[in-house]
Structure 1
Amino acid sequence: MSDQTPYARFPGQVIAAPPCRMLNANMYGFFIKGNIVNIQQYIDETLNVVPLGKDRFQALMSYCMLTFTDIENIKPVTEPYASQGWFQETDIIIWIPVARMQGLKIKKIYWYPAFICVNNIYALVNGREIWGFNKYLCDYQMPSIGADPDLFSMTVDAFTHFSPDTKMAPVELFRVEKVAAGEEKSLADLSELLKEGFDLMRAEVDCFKLDLEDLAKLVADFFHPQVDQLLLKQFPDGEGQNAVYQKLVHSPSVVQKLHDIKLYGHAFEFTLNQVDMFPLQEMFGIQVGTQSSVLNFNVLFDFNQQAAFELTSED
């Protein structure tokens, strides 16, 4: 970061230092239909509030990628944090692919983890404080490695309906259920995933400034050689009105090893519930109710989460 003021570490504080290495990240992915107008508005209200010269960020398609990822073993790689221990983490993320536009030209494509829920406080605190991940705590259900991918769900503590008398309580925000069995095809590499999967996406995906070749590269780049993540890192002042820090940062997730890749022929249904505190219909245009997901997959891999670096107009 550009601020050279040393970070004051409280004794016993849980803030570690990147990078972190992640082993056996078991990721299930589903593409969910949203609305490109809502998605662009979300980008404008977050990423595009930070001046970056004349560059702006643009939505690329009306679909969001929903992932459930159980990471078996995480630990920092630098001392003294590497010797303090390791932990398990589950991330449930809604990803938006975005383009950094220079005029009418795509300068670079990023994956924007726009909405994230995790299962432990250590992951939440470090993710928000160091990287700027928009994380919230949750409970969840998902299959373990090699199990039947039959049910995925996420529950959050939230105000289901805003009113003066509403008490915060656990509520299921969404779920994904397998409704019909199909083939599970193990693939040798990501090129096979693209070959098998994009015929499904061709008729479904409503793209903006993105042809099939660009879309193939976008998904391939998600796993190799790294995931280029774009984040809005910010902290509010004491009145919660202004930002005392607000920057766009880039943090690559560098894939170390791909253990297994599967493309699912199963039919899955995604169900979204109305929760006023997390209005995904307003945020991303994902309709409340049930829809079929497309390009459903499972990838088991190891990766390293690198430090976050501020983006500038010169990058």
Structure 2
Amino acid sequence: MSSEQTPYAQFPGSVIAQPPCRMINANMYGFFIKGDLNKIQTYLDETVGLVSGYTFKAISKYCMLTFTDIENIKPTTEPWASQGYFQETDVIIWLPVAKMQRDKVSHIYWYPAFICVNNVYALINGRETWGFNKYLCDYKMPEIGGSPDFFSMTVDAFKTFSPDTKMSPCELFNVKMLAQDTESPIENFVDLIEEGMSLLENEIDFFDLDFSVYKQLLSGFINPQIDQLLFKQLPDGSATNAVYQDVLHSPSAIQKFHTGKLYFHEFEFTLNQVDMFPLSDMFGIEVGSQRPLLPFNILFDFNQEAAMSL
């Protein structure tokens, strides 16, 4: 449900910049983490599924967790393009989602359902303009070319809900390398898809749809474009009703692939219980440790395009 079209007030001191934005040297590490298909579907129903006219289906019990350090970001539209650039790190839990039409898959999206960032400028613009569900965090991750030994994300949160709980820094999750093995270099996104598919096809509980549909999902890397699904809403002054609520999509247009590799090291993902961000309720990711699938690292440039209604 969209509001009437009213020109946005660009007043002095406002930090809202018009998209698109160009991103240089995005250093992304990714892992597939096991959740629960029913809980993921409930999360979809309670967010993007609220907008009338759309039906979305969870197509895997696995979520993709990424740590991405983007070295240089700036809008491409003036006057913001001439104001400067900034660094941003995103830690994202992605849900692979199918848009359904007459019980058939009409399009495949990546839904960045939970995002934490290190930069308040990125947080404000991401939430206000695109509708990204962003929160501030501290993080640890390797630099470009570094060994993938340890990743973590810490948020200011209420760890246990109670009247006497004070908000404090809480580590929500971490990923550590337990044993070193081999690495397989990849030359482009096509290599990532082909090698990834050969590995994931052996995981019989990974796919909830036909394997060919999942290939359609990852084929977005070839275009080269990653279609992101977004749930954007703005609350009224009492946070009771939405003055704006819609489902949007925003393409990430790949500009250049620098390097990439698949890891065959042994990794361990550990989720801690933090009541404020109950990932077990949201996505069915169990508190405790598990072995993530398909760990990878890619370094690339991309443009984040404006968000548009479906």
- In the superposition, the TM-score normalised over structure 2's length comes to 0.96
Deviation at 1:191, TM superposition (A): 3.0
Q: Residue type matched to 2:105 in 1?
A: I
Q: Which residue of 1 aligns with 2:279?
A: 280
CA distance in 2, matches of 1:37, 1:222: 27
Q: Residue type matched to 2:276 in 1?
A: M
Where in structure 2 are the equivalents of 1:150-189 lying within 5 Å? 150-189=149-188
Where in structure 2 are the equivalents of 1:33-72 lying within 5 Å? 33-52=34-53, 55-72=54-71
Deviation at 1:204, TM superposition (A): 2.5
Question: Is it true that 1:252 corresponds to 2:251 in the alignment?
Answer: yes
Q: Residue type matched to 1:38 in 2?
A: K
Q: Which residue of 2 aligns with 1:210?
A: 209
Segments of 5+ residues of structure 2 without an aligned counterpart are none
Deviation at 1:212, TM superposition (A): 2.4
Where in structure 2 are the equivalents of 1:50-129 lying within 5 Å? 50-52=51-53, 55-129=54-128
Q: Call closer, same or farther: CA 1:67–1:141 in 2, change over 3 Å.
A: same
Deviation at 1:190, TM superposition (A): 2.8
Q: Residue type matched to 1:18 in 2?
A: P
Deviation at 1:221, TM superposition (A): 1.3
Question: Does the Cα contact within 8 Å between 1:59 and 1:208 map onto a contact in 2?
Answer: no
CA distance in 1, matches of 2:199, 2:108: 22
Deviation at 1:208, TM superposition (A): 5.4
Superposed CA offset, 1:220-268 (max 9, x none): 3146411101101100011111100001111111000111110111111
Work out the number of aligned pairs and report it. Answer: 309
Superposed CA offset, 1:101-150 (max 9, x none): 01211011111000000001000000000000000000000000000010
CA distance in 1, matches of 2:200, 2:172: 25
Question: Does the Cα contact within 8 Å between 2:40 and 2:284 map onto a contact in 1?
Answer: yes
Superposed CA offset, 1:23-58 (max 9, x none): 000000000000000000000000100112xx4000
Question: Is it true that 1:12 corresponds to 2:17 in the alignment?
Answer: no
Question: Is it true that 1:141 corresponds to 2:103 in the alignment?
Answer: no
Q: Residue type matched to 2:90 in 1?
A: D
Deviation at 1:97, TM superposition (A): 0.7
Runs of 4+ in 1 over 6 A off after TM superposition: none
Question: Does the Cα contact within 8 Å between 1:40 and 1:59 map onto a contact in 2?
Answer: yes
Superposed CA offset, 1:72-104 (max 9, x none): 000001100000000000000000010010121
Identical aligned residues as a percent = 64
Aligned residue for 1:124, secondary structure, equals helix
Aligned residue for 1:203, secondary structure, equals coil
Question: Is it true that 1:303 corresponds to 2:296 in the alignment?
Answer: no
CA distance in 2, matches of 1:265, 1:228: 28
CA distance in 2, matches of 1:200, 1:269: 18
RMSD of aligned C-alpha atoms?
Answer: 1.4
CA distance in 2, matches of 1:213, 1:191: 15
- In the superposition, the TM-score normalised over structure 1's length comes to 0.95
CA distance in 2, matches of 1:130, 1:50: 18
Segments of 5+ residues of structure 1 without an aligned counterpart are none
Q: Call closer, same or farther: CA 1:7–1:194 in 2, change over 3 Å.
A: closer
Question: Does the Cα contact within 8 Å between 2:3 and 2:243 map onto a contact in 1?
Answer: no
CA distance in 2, matches of 1:260, 1:220: 18
CA distance in 2, matches of 1:202, 1:208: 8
Q: Residue type matched to 1:158 in 2?
A: A
